[in-house]
Structure 1
Amino acid sequence: MSIHELSVRCAAYLARELNTDRIQENRMAFGMELFLGELIKLILVVIISLLLGILPEVLTVTLTAGFLRLASGGEHCTAYYRCLIGGVTCFLVLGGIAHLLYPLLGRLDLLLIVCTGTVISAGLLYLYAPGDTANKPINTFEEKTRFRKWALIIVGLYFVLMVTMMTIPPAEILVLPILIGMLEQSFTVTPWGYRFIHGVDRVLGGGP
């Protein structure tokens, strides 16, 4: 049984028990499928990155991007396994890059990169967030404004967190992964991010 089928069955059961309509049932199914999918993705990311010796960086990139995505939205591949393969590969590569780059950067270099990256991320989110999908459209101006505001607040909190962590030597190693995760998620809501994800989808067999 696939995750989609399991989610649909669980949502149908809950809908009967709660006496909800079809729209609510579909929303529950979508939410459940998303939750289960992200849980499996996180487990795979942890296992593989642990074997590669880059768990702190990869996990930080994953959680940073995932939390920001709650507010910023963004496109998905057309099938779960393509999202799984693409997402796991992306986070492993980005975590690996952070692991390799950190020893090469001085504190001033890191601060400059953090400031520049935060400005870029905030600019992209201000222009393009929130990114909706066919399964989760954002239809009203009020919704768009609210999600954009929360995305920008999260970026501001990330900036404060990164600057604070730079003053704590053991935590400084995670500053670059936070920045990379933030930039990755900001990129996915742009037109170029949508085209990139559609391209990944086609490469993995999900489109013309």
Structure 2
Amino acid sequence: MIVEYSFIEHKFTVYHKSVNRSVSLLTYSVFAVIIHNMIIKTENKMIEVLKTFAHNGYQKTSMAKLGDAFCISRQALYKRFRSKELVLDWLVCEINAYALSGMKQALADGSKTMTERIVLGFDCWTGRYVDTLRSSPHSAEIMELGIIVARNIAGDGPTVAEKIRLLIARELVIEGIVVDLAEGERFAFVMYMASKGLTLSVPDRNSYLEKITEMVQTVIRS
């Protein structure tokens, strides 16, 4: 799992300036473990909720079934989210947060080739959900709903998908693969559309990674 620890590092830096170094290091270690465990638990819930929507379809997914995914009662889930629509909003927000964080960290990994970095980023974005989505006849419906919700959440601002494509475009410019940001954005959009298509067509995650790698290599070399 790829996790961005900038939030933890920021807290540590602030704390480090105000207290004894040995104490701050201990506090940082404990704090990092707590946050890491919270991230793992959130991701596990996120995957279970996605499985529930994908397995049943949006219309037939009940709050009781979603409560099972969260390992809480239907009543407790209503107290937290109030409606199925808000559960879907939460799911999209969590998936997008992981996607943006994962792509940033993948693109920053200077030990890998440009193709490897982009592929790793796409795996964080959509690849890791392929097996869940491909096991369901409702995968296209859930993906389209996710895109609509993401646009509604973004409002007048850029969606997470647009932010990720811009990250890729900038990295392509930095690496000298494209001449300017406009060309980089065109390349990134082609990759994005190919990734969407693969998510709904390949049989499993391994096939997705194989095909997305071929596609990225082709686009970069074109």
Same fold (TM over 0.5): no
Greater RCO, CA 8 A, separation 6+: 1
- Please say which structure displays the higher CA radius of gyration: 2
TM-score by length of 1: 0.29
